């Protein structure tokens, strides 16, 4: 890396919010040569009872506070938020459900540190804006707690390395809460892949296509979030800021980090057409909002090649008026499964999608055991149709039984690293960006991910 590249990279990393800068970005060198014991296949001592501290009890964290105590031997013992009233509201949720009061930590942007230090917590569950995920996960692990963080786990490659190195040094889990890996269709497809129905996997596609113009522009008094932190990100960054919903499931189908590895990507974005006019329409053509400069292109498309010669197409668009989709497509030497809506085509009838009856038969045969056994309970507990609860159920099951997690720190780092790498590539006319091997070669011998059951 020459000096100019280094300076450019440092400028990129520190170009975000003050909070991002405060989180220690800018130390882009220094990862190479770090060698600690690998966390691949790592299992911690079983935790019969799990005491959870939740940091960030806005929309997402409050959902978790409602769901987590439904899992046997799981208690929420601590709550933290910038806003005291959100902690109070969540205390009331616990009380209304006949659950013991949790300790509250609020009032300053650093109050969560005391939650990490407390002796009443085994797992820190993080639901704050993106740039807090790494500092909070790192602190949790340094305090001897396991960390589970919302997506993305880090917003720079440097942060991703910090997560890996801290997890390796502290021997604590760091899981990214990629709930889409537990969607009913995603787990069905994982099962199809594991049973060899699609043959050798060749190509996958994933996306986060979710129109969010109104929610990005929503003000606090309209129920908006945190001074519009998503809008702020769109003003300062381009590329794909939210790659994990699309990428995570495809990486699991392909056993990435456990037999294959992501090698490089090319990424391109459209111009930002949709977000500024929405502000102008809301506040008027002469308002300051109408003059906002948005950096993030509406549609971002990345192509990733793996070291075993496969490809993944990844998209992000939160500003175009179109139906929600994560694409969720996996294609192999014997057939293809695709989502939105669910479709399957197999040899020898690969030239057309299966009719409804055949598809229902296949779904019945390959429905994933987690959904078969716990799907009804999960739907009742809620969270994106049940997948959030299934993710939490499986996480707690692994912690309670001392099993390796389905998504480890290497997955968290790899999937999140696309945030920075896609932006770098976009800014260089789609130039290829090497993707770090966070396992440092461990992917060649790591155990493949199994079917994932309770």
Q: How far is the CB of 300 from ligand NAD (least distance, A)?
A: 16
Q: Strand 50-55 and strand 262-269: pairing?
A: unpaired
Q: What is the DSSP letter of 283?
A: H
Site string for ligand NAD, 122-141 (x = CB under 6 A): -----xxxx-x---------
Beta bridge partners of 104: 79
Which residue, 227 or 285, is less far from ligand NAD as judged by CB?
A: 227
18-57: contacts with ligand NAD (CB under 6 A): 55-57
Cα–Cα distance for residue pair 32/207, rounded to 1 Å = 31
Residue 411 CB partners (closer than 8 Å, separation 6+): 176, 178, 248, 251, 256, 257
Per CB under 6 A, the list member of 30, 46, 107, 109 interacting with ligand NAD is 109
381-440: contacts with ligand NAD (CB under 6 A): 384
Cα–Cα distance for residue pair 365/150, rounded to 1 Å = 32
Cα–Cα distance for residue pair 16/154, rounded to 1 Å = 13
Q: How far is the CB of 324 from ligand NAD (least distance, A)?
A: 12
Burial class (CB in 10 A: 0-12, 13-18, 19+), 10: middle
Which residue, 72 or 109, is less far from ligand NAD as judged by CB?
A: 109
SS3 184: helix
Q: How far is the CB of 36 from ligand NAD (least distance, A)?
A: 27
Concatenating the DSSP letter of every residue in 77-100 gives: EEEEESSHHHHHHHHHHHHHTTPP
Per CB under 6 A, the list member of 86, 173, 213, 368 interacting with ligand NAD is 86
Cα–Cα distance for residue pair 190/338, rounded to 1 Å = 12
Which residue, 224 or 432, is less far from ligand NAD as judged by CB?
A: 224
Which residue, 182 or 410, is less far from ligand NAD as judged by CB?
A: 182
Q: Which two tokens stand for residue 77?
A: 């013992």
Q: What is the signed CA dihedral for 311, 317, 318, 319, rounded to 10 degrees?
A: 180
Which residue, 220 or 447, is less far from ligand NAD as judged by CB?
A: 220
Per CB under 6 A, the list member of 112, 125, 182, 217 interacting with ligand NAD is 112
Which residue, 8 or 225, is less far from ligand NAD as judged by CB?
A: 225
Which residue, 83 or 95, is less far from ligand NAD as judged by CB?
A: 83
Q: How far is the CB of 259 from ligand NAD (least distance, A)?
A: 26
186-245: contacts with ligand NAD (CB under 6 A): 225-226
Segment near ligand NAD (CB under 6 A); pick from 59-67, 138-146, 302-310, 322-330: 59-67
Q: Taking CB under 6 A as the rule, does residue 452 contact ligand NAD?
A: no
Cα–Cα distance for residue pair 153/127, rounded to 1 Å = 11
Q: How far is the CB of 37 from ligand NAD (least distance, A)?
A: 30
Judged by CB under 6 A, the number of residues near ligand NAD is 25
Q: Taking CB under 6 A as the rule, does residue 107 contact ligand NAD?
A: no
Segment near ligand NAD (CB under 6 A); pick from 58-66, 71-79, 204-212, 330-338: 58-66
Per CB under 6 A, the list member of 15, 26, 58, 277 interacting with ligand NAD is 58
Q: Taking CB under 6 A as the rule, does residue 83 contact ligand NAD?
A: yes
Angle of CA points 13, 15, 20, to nearest 5°: 70
Q: Taking CB under 6 A as the rule, does residue 150 contact ligand NAD?
A: yes
Backbone angles phi, psi at 214, to 5 degrees: -65, -40
**Where do runs of H (alpha helix) occur along 83-228?**
84-96, 112-117, 133-142, 157-170, 184-194, 213-217
Q: Taking CB under 6 A as the rule, does residue 81 contact ligand NAD?
A: yes
The side-by-side arrangement of strands in the sheet containing 74-81 is: 103-106, 74-81, 50-55, 123-126, 146-149, 174-176
Beta bridge partners of 174: 147
Residue whose Cβ sits closest to ligand NAD = 58
Closest to 335 in 3D by CA, of 304, 307, 366, 364: 366
Q: How far is the CB of 252 from ligand NAD (least distance, A)?
A: 16
Q: How far is the CB of 287 from ligand NAD (least distance, A)?
A: 24
Which residue, 242 or 443, is less far from ligand NAD as judged by CB?
A: 242
SS3 326: coil
Per CB under 6 A, the list member of 47, 53, 60, 256 interacting with ligand NAD is 60
Binding site for ligand NAD (CB under 6 A): 55-61, 80-83, 86, 109, 112, 127-130, 132, 150-151, 179, 225-226, 384
């Amino acid at each position: 890396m020459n000096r100019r590249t280094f300076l450019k990279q440092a400028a990129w990393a520190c170009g975000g919010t003050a909070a991002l800068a405060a989180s220690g970005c800018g130390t882009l060198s220094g990862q190479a040569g770090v060698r600690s014991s690998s966390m691949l296949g790592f299992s911690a001592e079983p935790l019969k009872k799990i005491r959870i501290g939740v940091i960030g009890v806005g929309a997402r964290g409050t959902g978790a506070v409602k769901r987590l105590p439904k899992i046997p031997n799981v208690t929420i013992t601590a709550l933290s938020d910038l806003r005291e009233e959100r902690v109070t509201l969540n205390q009331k949720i616990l009380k209304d459900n006949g659950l013991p009061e949790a300790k509250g930590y609020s009032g300053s942007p650093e109050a969560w540190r005391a939650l990490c230090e407390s002796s009443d917590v085994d797992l820190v569950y993080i639901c704050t804006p993106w740039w807090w995920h790494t500092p909070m996960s790192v602190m949790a692990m340094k305090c001897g707690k396991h960390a589970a963080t919302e997506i993305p786990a880090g917003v720079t490659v440097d942060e991703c390395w910090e997560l890996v190195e801290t997890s390796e040094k502290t021997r604590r889990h760091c899981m990214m809460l990629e709930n889409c890996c537990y969607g009913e269709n995603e787990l069905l497809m994982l099962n199809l892949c594991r049973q060899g129905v699609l043959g050798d996997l060749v190509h996958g596609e994933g996306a986060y296509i979710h129109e969010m113009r109104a929610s990005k522009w929503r003000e606090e008094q309209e129920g908006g979030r945190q001074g519009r932190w998503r809008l702020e990100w769109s003003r300062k960054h381009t590329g794909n800021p939210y790659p994990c919903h699309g990428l995570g499931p495809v990486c699991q189908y392909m056993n990435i980090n456990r037999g294959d590895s992501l090698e490089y990507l090319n990424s391109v974005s459209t111009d930002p057409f949709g977000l500024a006019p929405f502000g102008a329409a809301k506040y008027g053509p002469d308002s300051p909002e109408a003059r906002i400069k948005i950096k993030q292109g509406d549609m971002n498309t990345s192509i990733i090649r793996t070291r075993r010669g496969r490809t993944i197409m990844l998209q992000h668009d939160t500003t175009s008026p179109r139906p929600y989709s994560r694409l969720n497509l996996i294609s192999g030497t014997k057939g293809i499964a695709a989502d939105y809506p669910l479709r399957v085509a197999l040899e020898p009838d690969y030239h057309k999608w299966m009719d409804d009856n055949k598809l229902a038969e296949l779904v019945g045969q390959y429905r994933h055991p987690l959904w078969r056994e716990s799907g009804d309970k999960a739907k009742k507990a809620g969270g994106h149709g049940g997948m959030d609860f299934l993710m939490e159920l499986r996480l707690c099951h692994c912690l309670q039984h001392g099993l390796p997690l389905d998504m480890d720190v290497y997955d968290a780092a790899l999937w999140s690293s696309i945030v920075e790498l896609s932006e770098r590539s976009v800014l260089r006319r789609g130039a290829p960006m090497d993707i770090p091997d966070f396992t440092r070669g461990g992917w060649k011998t790591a155990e493949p991910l199994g079917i994932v059951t309770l």
